[in-house]
Amino acid sequence: MKIAFVYDRVNKIGGAERVLTVLHEIWPEAPLYTSVYDEKGAPWAGSFKVVTSFLNKVAFFRGKHEMLPLVTPYAFESFNFDDFDVVLSVTSQDAKVVMTKPSTLHICYCLTPTRYLWSGYEDYKDEPGRGFFNPFVRLFMGIAVNRLRKWDQISAHRPDYYLAVSGLVKERIKKIYHRQAEVIYPPVETEIFKPRKKDGGGNYYLIVSRLVAYKKIDYAIRAFNQTGWKLKIIGGGVDLERLKKLAGKNVQIICDNLTDEKLCCYYQKCKALICPGSEDFGLAAVEAQACGKPVISFSGSGVKETVIPGKTGELYADLTEKSLVAVLHKSQKRKYRPEVCRANAEKFSKKVFKEIIRKKVESLYESSYFCRRNRNKALAAVSEKFPQTI
């Protein structure tokens, strides 16, 4: 089984990139096809054979891929996968539009239907981090969104099978793309993220996230400004400067590229992890639980699938400071057991993911192989009977 990976862009590190590194451990010979590749921004990809599109020839686009929504699909359509048995696309945008011949199986591991067109449309349209370009972004998206949505729905029928990172994403795929999907939760490095031997508690709350509008970090900052409690935010992104201006003296934003070991220390020493936005899955939430820490999350998020309310964290209903502050007070009255948080996180370990995804890809390939063989036999039989019509 000769397999290729396809991913939207290789220029940063996040949850999707962690999925790719684990897939690489399973199939180390598989090349990685992508629109643009920034080696400095994505050192994790150094062990891959990375194949880039024509967009990568312009260095400026390697960090500004979001400026090319009308061009990126053509970049993925330019790739040729005729030599591969299986194409596994990992995507929240355009990687699923690759074209494959009938004998090549295309499996899409969907992070979410194209976020800037659907679940995150309003946030991307009003993205405060774009500053001067805001009016132009709003104008373009208002004009082009209907056409882009139609194209996205059409191209969503190119994969043969869909796998979803959560039940929330599965429902989005069904509603938006009218496709069925099976849930396979992403992997967590539970061997790296683990509790301290002696947990003395912490004096700060923690957010680990990209700093973009749809993550909803702004109202979380306002909530902590109100309480005066310490909050540390680890991440970077286009919303950084705006969030810095919102942050009070009790809020610290850490933009360093931390190693997993350093990030683990922040998890281990915090009171709880805060997940204020609607995450597709929420890898940080499981990492925090693996370190024995509870998670406080918005209930309309994929994080709710990984948190046991009252035991490994709390959920709250509204994306407001008031709702978050109320649940923070509630959580301070509870005692969360690190061993329970850890046990819950182990359900999402890298070992579990590798076993499930390997079996699923191989079984889909085997079943599609027999379908192709039977189809070819049927065509050959018809060809013998009716040679003039085949």
Is 7 a residue whose pLDDT tops 80?
yes
Is 169 a residue whose pLDDT tops 70?
yes
Distance CA 109, CA 162 (A): 6
- Give residue 70's pLDDT: 77
366 Cβ neighbours under 8 A, 6+ residues apart: none
- Give residue 387's pLDDT: 56
- Give residue 330's pLDDT: 96
For a pLDDT cut of 70, what percent of the chain falls above it? 88
Q: Are 177 and 113 in contact (CB under 8 A)?
A: yes
- Give residue 200's pLDDT: 64
Question: Measuring CA to CA, which residue among 97, 86, 115, 91 is closest to residue 4?
Answer: 86
Domain spans, the chain? 3-113+156-187+351-385, 205-347
Q: Which long-range contacts (CB under 8 A, 24 or more apart) does 63-69 make?
A: 63/11, 63/38, 65/8, 65/9, 65/11, 65/35, 65/36, 66/116, 69/116, 69/144, 69/148
What DSSP state is assigned to residue 37?
Answer: B
- Give residue 390's pLDDT: 42
Mean pLDDT of 245-263: 93
Is 184 a residue whose pLDDT tops 90?
yes
Q: Are 85 and 20 in contact (CB under 8 A)?
A: no
Question: Measuring CA to CA, which residue among 168, 125, 139 is closest to residue 298?
Answer: 168
Instruction: Dump pLDDT digits (tens) for 66-125.
Output: 667 778 899 999 999 999 999 999 999 999 999 999 999 999 999 999 988 998 877 776
Q: How far apart, in Å, do the first and last CA atoms of the chain sit?
A: 30
Question: Measuring CA to CA, which residue among 231, 258, 257 is closest to residue 246?
Answer: 231
Mean pLDDT of 175-184: 97
CATH of 205-347, one of 3.40.30.10, 3.30.70.2170, 2.40.37.20, 3.40.50.2000: 3.40.50.2000
- Give residue 198's pLDDT: 77
Average pLDDT taken over every residue of the chain: 90
- Give residue 80's pLDDT: 97
Q: To the nearest 10°, the Cα dihedral for 109, 115, 118, 124?
A: 180
**Is the domain covering 3-113+156-187+351-385 a CATH 3.40.50 domain?**
yes
